[in-house]
Amino acid sequence: MTKVEFQEGSIQVDAEIIADGLGIAPSVVQDHLREGKITARYERGIDDDEGRHRLTFFTEHQRLRLVVDESGNVVQRSTLNFSDRALPASAHRQR
């Protein structure tokens, strides 16, 4: 899988996409999600953003945001990295 897949009410994201965006090994993504070291938020677009989905992944120091179309293609990607400082609460807020 090289994109995001929507299946039966669930979302599957290739670990390579998350790992690349957060600068970690793909092999640790699943464990980090289970352990709560990576958390995620999902938002569905409305109005002008209808048909788009925003997936945001957080670690202690980083935020990876993906905007995905209905076919599961990543159309926008951004990373916010606070290096050795904790990610501020404002980076977790919805816009």
* Residues 50 and 74 sit within 8 Å (Cβ to Cβ): no
With respect to residue 13, please indicate whether it lies within any of the assigned structural domains.
yes
Q: In this structure, is residue 19 part of a structural domain?
A: yes
For 39-85, what is each residue's pLDDT tens digit?
A: 999 999 999 999 999 999 999 889 999 999 999 999 999 998 877 76
| C-alpha 51, offset from chain centre | 17
pLDDT tens column, 11-52: 999 999 999 999 999 999 999 999 999 999 999 999 999 999
Helix (H, G, I), strand (E, B) or coil at 93: coil
Q: Give the total number of structural domains in the chain.
A: 1
Task: Evaluate whether residue 59 is within a structural domain.
Answer: yes
Domain-located, residue 92: no
Task: Please tell me the total number of residues recorded for the chain in this structure.
Answer: 95
**25 assigned to some structural domain:** yes
- pTM of this prediction? 0.83
Say how far residue 31 (Cα) sits from the centre of its chain.
16
Does residue 87 surpass a pLDDT of 70?
no
CA dihedral 57, 58, 64, 69 (to 10 degrees): 20
Asked whether residue 93 is assigned to any structural domain, the reply reads no
pLDDT at 1: 47
From CA 13, how far away is CA 29, in angstroms rounded?
Answer: 11
Q: Which domain holds residue 21?
A: 4-87
What's the pLDDT at 89?
A: 66
Predicted pLDDT at 88: 63
Residue 65 counted as domain residue = yes
